[in-house]
Amino acid sequence: MSTDKPHKKRDIFIDGPIDPAFVAESIAKHATRTDIGGHEIFLGQVRADGAAGTGDACIARTAAIDYTAYRDMANEQMTPIREEAFARWPITCLHVYHSQGVIKAGELCFFVFASAAHRQAAREAVAYVTDEVKKRLPIFGKEIIADGGHQWKSNT
C-alpha cells in the first residue's frame, strides 16, 4: 500500500463539462507506466430525468444541472478521501475531477480514475472514492428543468 508520503492537495474542480478528450488524455498519460496492470474509471453524466412524476407521467425533463460547491472546503475534504484510498488499496494513482457550472444533459460532470498493478484494487478504490465524494463533499446541484423551473438535486 502506498503510505510513503502524504499526497498534495489538489483542486478537483473543472469549469464546465468534462471533455471526453480530457478523459482519453488522462488514460494516455499512463501508457508508459509498466507497473500498472489495470485502470478503473467512473464517469458521471447528467441525465435527462423526469423532474415530476415517473415514466410516461413525467411533466418536465432535466435540461442541465448547475453545480456549485464550497470549493476550498471540498478540496480540503478530498485530501483525506485520497489518503484513505491510498492506505486501503495498493493503487499507483488516483485522479478525481468534478464539474462546476451548468452541465447539459448528456455531458460529463464527474470523473474518477485509479490505476493499480491489479484490476481489483483499482475497482474497489474507484467505487469507494466515488461514494465518499458524494457523501462528504459540499457539492450542490440545481437541476434546471426544461420548462424553466429548477429543483435541488440530492446526492444519492
Q: Which three cell numbers stand for residue 155?
A: 446526492
Q: Kindly state the DSSP code that residue 106 receives in the 8-state scheme.
A: T
Report d(CA 119, CA 69) in Å as an integer: 32
**Mean predicted confidence (pLDDT) in 137-146:** 95
- Whether the pLDDT of residue 3 is over 60: the answer is no
CA angle 1, 93, 76 (to 5 degrees): 95
Q: Higher confidence at residue 50 or residue 48?
A: 48
Q: Kindly state the DSSP code that residue 151 receives in the 8-state scheme.
A: E
pLDDT tens-digit profile of 98-140?
999 999 999 999 999 999 999 999 999 999 999 999 999 999 9
A 10 A CB-CB count for 26 gives: 17
Report d(CA 25, CA 28) in Å as an integer: 5
- Whether the pLDDT of residue 2 is over 50: the answer is no
Short-list 42, 45, 41, 40, CA closest to 17: 45
Q: Which three cell numbers stand for residue 1?
A: 500500500
For each of the domains in the chain, give its residue range(s) and CATH number, in order of start: 13-47+58-152 (3.90.1170.40)
Adjacent-strand bridge partners of 62? 145
Contacts of 73 (CB under 8 A, 6+ apart): 138
Helix (H), strand (E) counts: the chain:
3, 7
What pLDDT score does 45 carry? Answer: 97
CA angle 2, 72, 137 (to 5 degrees): 65
pTM of the model: 0.87
Residue 49, CB half-sphere, CA atoms under 13 Å: how many? 12
- Contact criterion met (CB below 8 Å) for 40 and 114: yes
